[in-house]
Structure 1
Amino acid sequence: MNVRLRGVLAAAARRRAATHPHASPLPAPFAERVRIEADPAYRDRHFPGLGAAIAQRGHWRSGEVDALVRRLRSPP
């Protein structure tokens, strides 16, 4: 990376850090996904059906696991 571009990127990171004190200087990959998974209020505000879909998937998975456990525990 050339020196001028490095300087421009560093200045942009400093400006971002100054205007957003709690933000990381450079955005991390998958930061939005981490926030969606970690913050239920954010998820419900921006993705209203996602919480219900995740809960439904959990119910389906637990049903599948229960069926598998019953099948494995039953005598052959």
Structure 2
Amino acid sequence: MTLSAAEQELALSRQLLTRTKQGGAPDVGTVLRRADREIRRLSSLAVAWPELAAPIGELISEWIALRGRTMRLLH
């Protein structure tokens, strides 16, 4: 994967996060699965591209926050 492709993956994850926050998931389970998948995927991307660690870390933090807010809805 090239740096450009890694940056594109980062942009796609940000778009997915925005759509998810705006109600683009049909249910809570989908939000949780989506967040878990993106956190794992972005973590792998950060290992492969350490120069993108800061923006990837910020995005991972946003996914974790969304996951936390969603979990609180269940309790």
Verify same fold: TM over 0.5: no
Query: Whose helix fraction is larger, Structure 1's or Structure 2's?
Result: 2
TM-score by length of 2: 0.32
- Larger Cα-atom Rg: 1
- Relative contact order, CA 8 A, sep 6+: which one is greater? 2
